[in-house]
Amino acid sequence: MLARSHIGEGRWHDALAVLTNLCGCDAAHAQDWFLLGALNGQLERYEEAIECCRRAIARRPDHVDAHYNLAQTYLHCRRPEAAATEFRRVVELRPDHFDALNNLGYALQLLGQYAEAVACHERALVLQPQHPDALVNLGIALHGLGKPGAAIEAYQAALRVAPGSANAWYNLGYALDAQERHAQATAAYQRAIELQPDNMAAYANLGTLLLAEGRHAETDRCLRAALAVKPGAPETTRPWQALLFALNAYETDSRRVAREHRAWGRWMRRLHAPQTDHANDPDPERPLRVGYVSADFRNHSVASFFEPLLSHHDPAGFHVVCYADVHRPDRVTRRLQHSAAAWRDIRGLGDGRVAELIQRDGIDLLVDLAGHTSFNRLSVFARKPAPVQVTWLGYPNTTGLEAIDYRLTDAVCDPPGTTEHLHTEELIRLPHGFLCYLPSLDAPSLCDPPSETRGHLTFGAFNNLSKVTPEAIRTWARILLRLPRAHLIMKNKPFRDPATRARYSALFSAQGVDPGRVELLHWLPGTERHLAQYNRVDIALDTFPYNGTTTTCEALWMGVPVITLRGAAHAGRVGAGLLHAIGLTEWVAGDQDRYVELAVRLAGDARTRKTLRAGLRGRMLQSPLCDGKGFARQMEETYRDLWRRWCRRGAATGNGSAIPSA
């Protein structure tokens, strides 16, 4: 056959012409359509490939290869649900089809159906017990199921078969990282990079791991190395975003941080041209359809601030749709799902498909809750599927996307006239603060100040180590040296790793502080056990230049006053905003010297500390910080105002649907 000859010689376009002509005849067989589909797939003409495979299957429903190629093409198009359906059909027709079983497991992983994915990979391994790719895929599914220990065993089995598999080393590093076995995870990532120097994902994950340990200079080098692998390629999106997120923790030049975000935004605009025309009805007073996009609709800090809004939204005026990319739903997910008018599970859906879904839902105002944090969907927003787009809550900086119109903040975190130049979005300042906190129902009871029974005062810093800069450690050491009997408790996940603990002990020792005065605690599972550790703390010390948010609220809820340092940009002013909301601005410092003086002064004022410990919960509950109903009303008023703006512009430019005449 001429087409086969052309294919054998690598003359793809000649073969395409022959097969296209052949399939234009009514007499074309299933195999002809199958070959044309395979060729279109080879040339990355995926929609044409899908249509050809369907025609082959219509002529011969038991065409295994056509079903298999159709499934593979759906995977390329980020349509895992359709892919899974076709892979299942292949397995029905040929139960011993190893590749179909293995790839069915992969499609199910994308859908978050990890238990079924594990079963598929195990069936594949019965057919080929030593297949390294199937072992790696089994590990990925086990990890998704919340079993990183079992995943590690699968990766190690793969490495016994294929010790040179960079993919196995990379995934082993990811699972070890999940268990806070940082030294081993670092070694695994480094081995993956040695075997595959262009392994962008390994560089990116290693950089993220180093950030979690507070190793900022190494983080920066590693993430920039990831970007250098394929400069300008679409797959650089995630490592670039990891770098943008990291810069908030250690880069003090806010203008430089803004430039990096803007560069990313310009690049995204080249990849995804934003939609400019929207068919939404420009009636300024009609009920609005509001969409929220997040991977953190679960037991996560974002949910602690989102739930008060969602549960108090006015259903008569606002139809709320949540676009959830939650890979491990939990009880918080179920609570949020109950409060939303509609819930869309977007796990495994490509960004283009999500944008289409948002358009079909007729969303008027779309809200990003993630910024450049993990599993964000900013490339959905880059396409501008909704006429009004807003970023709020989950990220302390600009997104850099001109397709996002507004960023919600307040006058404390972004004083008027000070930070507008750092944002691509227009800043909208909420009058009573941009945060509303839902205290945990699992919080333990309050106790008396621990200094009364322990014989010494204890400071606490439970923030992520990514926010703990050398300057913060030097400042905390100054406080401890001023108060020779005082102790400090630091608490975070990486302290499970002995090397990380040793490094932080050495950092304090270098400042002249006896490491025995600094207790380094690993993260404890369970909210109640975590919050109970605040009963050991008299005063909390905030990080800078990237303040805490949830940690500050948790400390205050547990009766622990917080000393914070007000910075130049939003990330360094959230602590001031929280204390302003509850009327405790006297514990906000303008510089490091004042920060030290405030900590020493409060340490010497036992009466004030006792009064605060007894009254902070009540103060919070009576403040805007915990007024869910009031917060929802101010957010809805803001949304309405932003919608009216769009309607006015639509009336002036013709954008939007025309209002029918009588």
pLDDT of 11? 42
Residues 457, 567 within the same domain: yes
Q: How many CA atoms lie within 13 A of 167 on its CB side?
A: 13
Q: Is residue 290 part of a domain?
A: yes
168 neighbors 155 (Cβ within 8 angstroms)? yes
| pLDDT tens-place string over residues 120-164 | 999 999 999 999 999 999 999 999 999 999 999 999 999 999 999
Residues 279, 385 within the same domain: yes
Residues 491, 577 within the same domain: yes
Ordered DSSP codes for 362-404? T-SEEEES-TTSTT--HHHHHT--SSEEEE-SS-SS----TT-
Q: Is residue 355 part of a domain?
A: yes
pLDDT of 257? 97
Q: Is residue 394 part of a domain?
A: yes
Residues 369, 491 within the same domain: no
Residues 486, 525 within the same domain: yes
- SS3 of residue 496 by DSSP: helix
- For the domain that residue 403 is a member of, what is the CATH number? 3.40.50.11380
Q: Is residue 495 part of a domain?
A: yes
Gap between the Cα atoms of 292 and 305, Å rounded: 13
Residues 423, 520 within the same domain: no
Q: Is residue 105 part of a domain?
A: no
Which of 429, 462, 489 terminates a domain? The answer is 429
Q: Of 446, 456, 404, which is closest to residue 425 (Cα–Cα)?
A: 404
Gap between the Cα atoms of 243 and 224, Å rounded: 7
pLDDT of 41? 67
Q: Say which residues have a Cβ less than 8 Å from residue 344's Cβ, sequence separation at least 6.
A: 321, 322, 323, 324, 357, 361
Q: Which residue range is the domain that position 493 belongs to? A: 451-625
Q: Is residue 166 part of a domain?
A: no
Q: Is residue 160 part of a domain?
A: no
Helices (H), 448-549: 451-454, 470-482, 498-510, 527-532
What stretches of 266-382 adopt beta strand conformation (E)? 288-294, 318-324, 342-345, 365-368
pLDDT of 46? 80
Q: Say which residues have a Cβ less than 8 Å from residue 278's Cβ, sequence separation at least 6.
A: 386, 387, 655, 656
Cβ neighbours, 10 Å, residue 146: 12
pLDDT of 654? 45
| pLDDT tens-place string over residues 488-536 | 999 999 999 999 999 999 999 999 999 999 999 998 888 899 999 999 9
Residues 406, 471 within the same domain: no
Instruction: Say what percent of the chain tops pLDDT 90.
Output: 84
Residues 324, 458 within the same domain: no
Q: Is residue 288 part of a domain?
A: yes
Residues 393, 295 within the same domain: yes
How many domains are contained in the chain?
Answer: 2
Helices (H), 511-605: 527-532, 550-557, 574-581, 592-603
Residues 469, 408 within the same domain: no
- For the domain that residue 557 is a member of, what is the CATH number? 3.40.50.2000
Residues 476, 407 within the same domain: no
> For residue 383, what are its two tokens?
């396409």
Residues 485, 588 within the same domain: yes
pLDDT of 652? 57
Name the stretches of the chain with pLDDT < 50. 1-3, 5-19, 21-22, 654, 656-662
| C-beta pairs of 85-93 under 8 Å, 24+ apart in sequence | 90/64, 93/62, 93/64, 93/67
pLDDT of 40? 67
For residue 325, the one-letter residue type is: D
